[in-house]
Amino acid sequence: MKVTTMLLAAALAIGSTSAFAHRCPKEMKAIDAALTKAKLSDSQMSEVKKLRAEGESLHKAGKHSESTDALDKAKKILGI
């Protein structure tokens, strides 16, 4: 029973990482589109661009959970 539970947990962990991996590019695209229309202060714009770049870098490093965290912060500032 314990082996089955461990295998199920491992499969779920791998599946969730894959889901985050597919979400990152979609989130970056949404941020890029919103940036063209955004009415933000210079400091907000700078922060969004920093978070967007950080999200892309983390995505490329395979750190998808951290990537989506950064991208979500950027989206919150943008109001999307």
List pLDDT tens digits, range 5-35. 655 555 555 554 455 557 899 999 999 999 9
In the chain, how many H helices and how many E strands? 3, 0
User: Rounded CA gap, 29 and 74, in Å?
Assistant: 12
CA dist 72 and 22 (Å) reads 14
Residue-level length of the chain: 80
The pTM (predicted TM-score) of the whole model is 0.73
Indicate the average pLDDT of the chain: 85
Residue predicted with more confidence, 18 or 66: 66
Tell me which architecture the domain covering 2-78 has in CATH: Up-down Bundle (1.20)
